[in-house]
Structures are given as C-alpha cells and as structure tokens.
Structure 1
Amino acid sequence: MPSTSMRVAALLACAPLALAAPKTTAAKQAAAASSPAPPIRSHPTSISHGPYSGIPLATGALSNSIVGTGIPSLPPNPAATSYPSDGRLHEPQPAPYVPAGGMGTNGTPPVYNAKSDFDYESLALALYQEWIELDLFHDGLARFSEQDFTAAGLTAEDRYLIQFMAEQEAGHATMISNILGAQAPQQCTYNYPYRTVREFIDFSQKLTRFGESGVYGFLPHLDSREAAQLLLQSITTEARQQMILRQFDGLFPVPVWFEVGVPQSWAWTLLAPFISSCPAGQTRLVWQNFPALWILNQPNPARVNASAGYNETISAGMNTLSSANLTTSEACAYSNNTLDDCKPAITQNRTIPLSYPGRRVFLSWETPGKPVGPNNSYVTSSQAGSPKYVAWVTQLNVTYSSLDVTNATSGSTVQPNVETYAGDPAINGTMFIAITDDDPYLTPFNLSLINRHVVAGPALYQAG
C-alpha cells in the first residue's frame, strides 16, 4: 500500500479536474495519455465460503475511552436560519461568477484522506461493503450454471452485466483503500444463504440497498469533503446496480421519489452476519451490531400474491426471499399473465402490490449478546428499553407504528398509510424497519440519534 504522500499524489494525478491543469505541449499530452493507469487493489478470484467455526481472538466493537452515554439532542444553532434565502447576493464575490460561501472553494488543493475517526470508521465500513459485493457477484456466477440463469430468465448478457458489476467493485475497493492507507480492511470470507438464482438476485438487490443507503447516511457528515466527493461518485454507481438487480428480481425499478439513508450501525448490523472470517490483524470497526429482526410475513416477490406467504425468508435482517416450496401456480415467474408475472424485465407493474397500508406485519427478534460477524468476534447489543414501536425508515420519513407485543421477542404492527409528498407513498421499495422503545422526531440528517432507542433491527421490508 502506498504511503500517504504517494497516495494523495496518485489520487490527484487520477483526478485532473481537482486542480488547474498546467499548460502542456501536444507531445507531453500524448505521453501522458499513453502512461499506464494506476493498478487496482489485488484480491483473490476464488475464496472459500461457509460459516466460521473457530474461536474469536478479539471480541466486541473497536472502542476507546467513552466520555458520554449518548449524543444529546440539542436545539438548532441560532444562526442556522439567518440566511435570508431571497435570491440576492449578500456577500462580496471572491471572483467573477462565483458566490461567497461553500466548503473547499478557496483554491486550496484537495487532500483525499480521512480527517477524523468518524471519517476512517465510515470509510472502512464502506470498504467492507465493497469487498463483499465484489465476492458476491463472483460467487453467484460461479455457483450457478448457465442453465440455472436461463431458467431464471437471465441471459448471457445479463450474466456479463453481473460480472461487470464485480469489476466496478474492484475499482471502488481500490479507491477507498487508497484513501485509508496501509491499514485498510482486506477482503474476508463469506457465508451466503441463497440456494437458487432467484434467491441470489434478491439477496444481491437487498445487499446493494443497504450498501447504498448506508453511505447516504454518513456522506454529508464526513469531515473530509474530498473523500466525500470520491465516495459520492462510487455510490451513484451502486445506486444503478441496485436498480438493475431490482429489474432482475422482477420488481419495479424505481418505486420511490427519494432514496433513503441509514446510520452506519444499521448497515453494519445487516452486513456482519454474512462475513465468516477476516485475515489476522484485520482493521476492526467501531459500529454497533443490533439484535437481528425477522419479518415473518415478509412480502415475497417470487409470489403472484407477494403478501400471501409466511416464513418465506432465508435470513434475518435482510429477510431475503425463499423460492422453495412455491407451487407453479403460486410462483409469479411461471405466470402467463403479464400483469402478474415477475420475470426479469426493464419494468414490472404487478396487478397485486407487494404490500399495502393496513397490512398486519408479524415480527420476531433476537435478544442481545449473540456473537456475529468476522470470526464471530462482534456481539449484538442494545441500549434501548422495552419494545413499543416499529420505526419505518423510508425516503425522507421516519414514521412509527405501535407494536402489539406478543412476548419478549415477538409482536406485530400495522403498515402505516403515509405519503412523503402528495402522490408519493412513503412506504415503498426495499426499505428499513426497526423495533424501538420510543418514537423520537428525527429527519434524514440526524437519523443516527435513533440508535439508542433500537431494540432490534433493522430489517429490510420489501414494501414494493
């Protein structure tokens, strides 16, 4: 791994728009154009898969001295609403056609590195995500035959698209590794629950959902605006992957007006159970692992009537669909009715919605204290009190519904009827729910304050 100074120089060399380009002769330009591109980070093309059976050498999240029990809820800064927003210019312009203000706009050369513990831990989490996506796409292509993909309605061109997604992840992993430096997390080994192509595709679209949303949650909070710029340019690619995988899954590609962002601990909770082991000395993460949440009647996109099934998932948290035990008449992939079928397509507008307001949702959750993640070295925990609500986190909304508690680890709730703006059902797409002990008012920018109230979850709810 290059040193910090070399790393910055390489990043600047690869980002000519970051600095004003010096005037060069045509010969120099031609020489620069023929110079070799920076290498991608090395990674194994084939690794073992399966559960971890050893003894963890370390236990728990990375930690230091802790100065408080939680982040307090404070009033807004008095100056937060001082700007008049009247369409006029209120400060002298630093240059022609340039308004005053902005961050990183004073001509100082950008340095693409982590500038705080928050930056490093957030980017390290993103790298863990890129590594698993790289392996996931390779594993699906290796595990299933051409005939398996064809039977699922996916062609050779579709398989190549999945392969190209893996190549994109190699680039993303390289970019984040260059920012983090020598201690950047390495690729691990993984344990995937899927058994069919349909389950692999559903698992992948859910994994990319929380990978994308997990970055949206922390991106505006990074101290390093330079690193945020590069990460933004990678996560927009991930957003396209998620849409494509929804199309492969027979789902409507873009059912929401706004994509949701979630806290880092939510993304880590969903990701960690599928990591078996990591190399010795691997960089550990600070983020919390919450107890897992099952959606017992998770809408199953493999069904003609997605809401009709029960216990048709193969994992907690992600609640990936199970395609087993569906009869031909129940499985939408075999439907001859174009309004009911769920074959891969550019778009699918199914007659029967996957979920709907007023639907009763049955839930089951684990208690804290379960070892999870790499080498079973992280432990689930919660600082919350008794379960009282279900938080529905989607688009721009955090909406709560009352939890009808059955016992200490199960209950049910009713899917709320709420719109982001008129005409946009807020609860739609592949979205997030969690069990909470309270219903604090939160918005996308301060959603992480919900963490101390989380009893279990999050889980991905397949609302549409």
Structure 2
Amino acid sequence: MFFKAGVAVGFIAAASAVPQAATTTSSPTASSTGYPLPYSYPQQPSVNSAAISSVASHAGIPASEIPGATNAVPPIVSSQVTGVTSHGPYSGPPPTTTGAISNSPAGTAIPMLPPNPTALVYNPNGTLNNQQPIPYQPAGGLGTNGTEPVYRVQSDFDYQSILLGLYQEWIELDLFHNILATFSEEEFTAAGLTPSDRFLIEFMADQESGHATLLSNLLGGPSGATPQCTYNYPFTTVHEAFDFTQKLTRFGESGVWGFQAHLDSRECAQLLDQSIATEARQQMIFRQFAGLFPMPVWFETGIPQSWAWTLLAPYISECPANSKRLVWQNFPALHVLNQPNSARRNATQTGFNETTGFGPAAPSSDPPANETCVGYNVTGFDCSASVSQNRSVPLSYPGREVFLSWENPGKAVGPNNSYITATSAGPPEFVLWVSQLNITYSPLTNITARNGMNYGQTIQPDVSTYEGDPAINGTMFIALTDTNTSYTAFNLSNVNPHVAAGPFLYQAG
C-alpha cells in the first residue's frame, strides 16, 4: 500500500454590478488578439413591472420608496431546450469531427519541478514583515492593488476550464427538471418526500439557470459560450435518480475545486467560488434525499478537468452544431463490479453488478423489498430521505476487496459520439484513491483480459486525513495508474499521463 497526504495549503464591471459578458471596443486590433466578439445574447437589462407591483403591494409603500425596486435586472441565458426534452442515447450519423481539440502540444507531460524559491521566503512569525499599503491591510495578495476587476477569461486554460463548467451546469439544469417530469407526486411521496421537497428541486434548477448565465457571460457570450445539449440518464426509480444526482453533483463540484485556484483570471475564480458554494449544498441535499449521511468528510476534494470530463461525457447524447469543443482527455472507462449498494440495509451484502444503467456514476439499483433500506423504519438501517441518516453498517470499509473492470482506449463517447477515449499510460499497476486532501495508492492485482475487457482487484486502504477522519469516505474517486508517484491536491493533474483508466465514483460512504 502506498500513501501520500497533501494539504491544500472581457468587460469591466463596477463593484455593485452583476457581471455581464465582454464587449469589444473601437480597438482596431481586437479581432487579431482574440478578444470576444460583441455580446449578442438578448441580455439587455429590463424592468419587470409585474414584479415591482407585487413588491410594492406586499410592502404597502410605493415602489419608488423601495431602494432598487425599479432598477433594470439582467435576464438569464435561455437554454436551447427547457423543461421536458428528449432523452436517450445518441442515434445520429457518425460525427464528422472527432477527438479533443488540439494544436500540436509542446510535450507529453508536465515536468515535476522543485518548489518556486519565492514560495519559501515568507516568514509566518506573527508580525508584519513588509510595509502595509494602507492602514488595516497587510502587504501582498493578488488583485489588491486597486486595479479595476475584469470579469472575463484570460487564457486558453481559463476558457477551456469554464467551458467545461458550463457543460456541467447545463446538464444539471436539465437533470433537475427531468427528475420532476419523470416521477409522479405519488412516487416522491413513497420515497419519503413532500411537495416542499419537489419545490426545492425546482428551485435548484433555477439556481442552475443563474450558474449557466454567469459562466456564459464569463466566456464572452455566443462567440465563446456553448448551448444546452440533450442527455441520457441511467435511472428508473426516484431513489436511483437521487443517487445518480448526488454523484453527478459531486464531480461537478470537485471538478471546479480542482481548477479554480489555477485560473489566470482571479475575478473568474472569485465568481466560480460563489457558484460552487451553492453546488456543494445541492450535492448535500441530494445525498439527504438518497438517505445518505449529508457530509461524511472533513474536506471536499478537487479533481483535474480531464477527470470531470471523463465522468460527464457518457451522459451527454447530442449537442447542437454550434457547440464548442473541449480540449480535455476522455480516459478509458473504469467500473467497480461490486460497488457498495447504498440502497441496501446492509451494504456489506452487496454482490456483483448492483448498479443500474451505465457510466462511471451509475446509481445503486433498488434491491428486493425485504433487503432495501428505503422506507425501512429501523434506526441505523433506514435510508429514507432525511436530514441525516446514521448507518449502523458502513457502505465500505478498509480491507474490503474491490473488483474492477476497465475498457481499452479507442471508444467513441460523449456528444454525438465525437470524442475518443485515450491514454498515454503503460499497463496499470496501481489503484489511485483520491479523497479529501489525500491521494493513496493500492496495488492492482489478479489482472486478466477477456472478451475485450480487462479485470483486476485491489484492497481498500486504511488511511486518515487527520486523526479521527478516515480519508476514504463519501462519494470519492478512483483511477488506475502505471505509477505510484506522489501528488498533492494542487498538482494532481500531473498524474493524467499516467492514468490508464478511470476515474470512477466509488461509494465509500
């Protein structure tokens, strides 16, 4: 067993303004330098007279006396498809463009270098080591020198990262609406949910409209943003839908935590933090709806963009012709054959293939009525929707045998089957566990191949982030690698050239 713990040590808007998209100026060099084209979404702020009348009526005073009531408000970006839409696998013609976008990369891997010498200079001795710029503010910090903020992407890294985030926001908007449209009120009631819970899902869909608008604006409007697609989901019951959604929102959140600190645009990073804080609450809510403990970890982990794209792509069926293509890698798919079944009263009794549907976020399937924990009103064994459910028997445990299968590279995945899975790694030798602040390796053993698939197994490690906090818990990530090199939370993307398959969402707790 190998272990490494790493601690995570445009346009110009006024401070009071809601960020909008970039617009070009009269500069004759704008197009040659790649500035966004003029913003052309129907995004002119407007005044909602009906809303103003309602506010004034409730307040009992004229609208003119309520600060801000008559201000124009920017609308949200409309999705291409709203509410109920078609869902299912892609059935169109073969794509004419395949693979991630590329422009002759300069190398095959990022070198592992020593720390930047300037990072070792500052002395945290409890006093002020440099002259303060103004009273009550210490020296240092990025974007603190009075420069007016510019809320727009500043590099290819920024653009491709936030574009990936927009793909994630669009699917969440569709998914939340789809859950409400697919299941009846009676099915929600049987799962232990009320009309207020259904309204909460609808409100979370509204939040996704705002997130999609924000990211579209940061990308520069139609010239840089991408529209909503159509999707394929693996669930058939309410409980399966919630388990899938808590997994999808898990990698949506972790995908942003993995890149936001690396953005060239600190302004974009600030706004992303404020949206992903809400995303984290959504993930917790869907864990509660699935009868899982809402937050079984002390720290939420971050994953590289290519991991998030690999997890997301199988659930996108088709995108419009004007969609923007991504640069990120799609790794060969990894599966846990005995994924712990969160719908069982005793998850240690999980057998093989107790997930439903497909993909790296496939939900736990509903077990027989006499074995399910849904609606089983026994303390410690119930997984009905609840603010908190403390399970007497953990979903997984250190020392558990984990059986794996993985695909070979070269499979068409994602929108219009237009992305191709690929790896530059050698034969896999290790299982990489990524959770909280840690990465952990365990040996991959009993490797075999048959019928075009690969098989192996490993043992779930026993490691802790800090004393009292098991590192492997919650909905977390595993992948197969050809090396056991140490990485930390901040440079985990350097592992990508060594990933042979994965990631997969392991249901550790």
Normalised by the length of structure 2, the TM-score is 0.86
Q: Helix, strand or coil for the counterpart of 1:186?
A: coil
CA distance in 2, matches of 1:281, 1:200: 30
Asked if residue 430 in structure 1 is aligned to residue 475 in structure 2, the reply is yes
Aligned to 1:460: 505
Q: Does 1:149 align with 2:194?
A: no
Partner of residue 205, structure 2: 166
Out of 125, 133, 137, which is 1:98 matched to? 137
Separation (CA, whole Å) in 2 of partners of 1:15 and 1:28: 25
Deviations 1:199-221 (A, max 9, x none): 10001000000000000000100
- Inter-partner Cα distance in structure 1 for 2:96 and 2:208: 29
Match status 1:47 vs 2:85 = yes
* Aligned match of 2:37: none
The answer as to 2:227 corresponding to 1:186 is: yes
Take 1:274 and 1:441, find their aligned partners in 2: how far apart are those partners?
31
The match for 1:87 is 126
Secondary structure of 2:201's aligned partner:
helix
Residue 121, structure 1, aligned to residue 164, structure 2? no
Instruction: Specify which of 364, 375, 379 is matched with residue 321 of structure 1.
Output: 364
**Does 429-438 or 39-48 show the bigger shift?**
39-48
Between the aligned partners of 1:348 and 1:451, the Cα distance in structure 2 is: 36
What's the counterpart of residue 50 of structure 2?
none
The Cα of 1:28 is off from its aligned counterpart by 9.9
| Partner of residue 416, structure 1 | 461
Q: How far did 1:193 drift?
A: 1.1
**2:436 and 2:497 mapped to 1: Cα distance?**
21
Quote the Cα distance in structure 1 between the aligned partners of 2:128 and 2:114.
28
* Unaligned ranges ≥5, structure 2: 1-9, 21-62
Instruction: Give the alignment's Cα RMSD to 1 decimal.
Output: 1.7
Give 1:65 deviation, angstroms: 2.1
- Using the aligned pairs only, state the percent identity: 64
Supply the distance in 1 between the matched residues of 2:13 and 2:464 (Cα, whole angstroms): 47
User: Residues 124 and 184 of structure 1 are in contact (CA less than 8 Å); yes or no, is this contact kept in structure 2?
Assistant: yes
Which structure shows the bigger proportion of residues in helix conformation?
1
Q: Residue 19 of structure 2 contacts residue 151 of structure 2 at CA under 8 Å; is this kept in 1?
A: no
Moved over 3 A (4+): 8-12, 27-33
1:219 corresponds to 2:255:
no
Q: Secondary structure at the match of 1:136?
A: helix
Structure 1 counterpart SS, 2:374: helix
Match 2:402 to one of 361, 367, 376 = 361
Task: Report how far residue 9 of structure 1 moved.
Answer: 4.1
Match of 1:14 in 2: 18
Alignment of 1:433-444 (within 5 A): 433-444=478-489
Question: Within 5 A, what are the aligned runs for 1:258-269?
Answer: 258-269=299-310
Q: Once the 2 structures are TM-superposed, how far is the Cα of residue 76 of structure 1 from its aligned partner?
A: 1.0
Deviations 1:208-237 (A, max 9, x none): 000000000001000000000001000000
Contact 1:186 1:282 (C-alpha < 8 Å) held by counterparts = yes
1:347-384 deviation per Cα after TM superposition (whole angstroms, max 9, x unaligned)? 11111110000000000011100000000000000111
CA deviations on 1:225-252 (whole Å, 9 max, x unpaired) are 0000001000000000001111111111
Q: Alignment partner of 2:428: what SS? A: coil
Contact 2:108 2:497 in 1 (8 A): no
Question: How far apart are the structure 2 equivalents of 1:107 and 1:290?
Answer: 43
Aligned to 1:445: 490
Q: Aligned-pair distance for 1:184?
A: 0.2
Q: Which residue of 2 aligns with 1:19?
A: none
Q: Deviations over 1:87-129 (max 9, x none)?
A: 1111111001110000000111100000000000000000000
SS in 2 for 1:207: helix
Written as runs of structure 1 = structure 2, the 5 A alignment for 1:194-213 is 194-213=235-254
The residue correspondences of 1:330-369 to structure 2 (distance < 5 A) are: 330-369=371-410
Cα distance change of structure 1 residues 278 and 411 upon mapping to structure 2, 3 Å threshold: same
More deviation in 69-78 or 218-227? 69-78
2:28 corresponds in structure 1 to none
State the distance in 2 between where 1:10 and 1:185 align. Answer: 26
User: Matched residues in 1 for 2:15 and 2:411: separation?
Assistant: 41
Structure 1 residues 14-33: aligned runs within 5 Å = 14=18, 32-33=68-69
Gaps of 5+ in 1: 17-26
Does the CA contact (< 8 Å) of 1:297 and 1:307 recur in 2? no
Matched, 1:130 2:130: no
From the superposition, tell whether residues 227 and 28 of structure 1 become closer, same or farther in structure 2 (CA, over 3 Å): farther
TM-superposed CA distance for 1:79, in Å, is: 2.1
Q: String of CA shifts for 1:12-36, please: whole Å, max 9, x gaps.
A: 62269xxxxxxxxxx9996754112
CA separation in 2, counterparts of 1:28 and 1:102?
A: 41
1:385 counterpart = 2:426? yes
Shift, 1:141, TM fit: 0.4
Query: Which of residues 314, 318, 322 in structure 2 aligns to 1:281?
Result: 322
In structure 1, how many angstroms separate the alpha carbons of the residues matched to 2:471 and 2:499? 21
Contact residue 298 and residue 319 of structure 1 kept, 8 A = no
Note if contact 1:295-1:319 (Cα within 8 Å) is conserved in structure 2. no
| Residue aligning to 1:65 | 104
The one-letter code matched in structure 1 to 2:107 is: G
- What is the aligned residue count? 447
Q: How far 1:327 moved relative to its partner?
A: 1.8
Q: Which residue of 2 aligns with 1:20?
A: none
Residue 281 of structure 1 deviates from its aligned partner by: 2.4
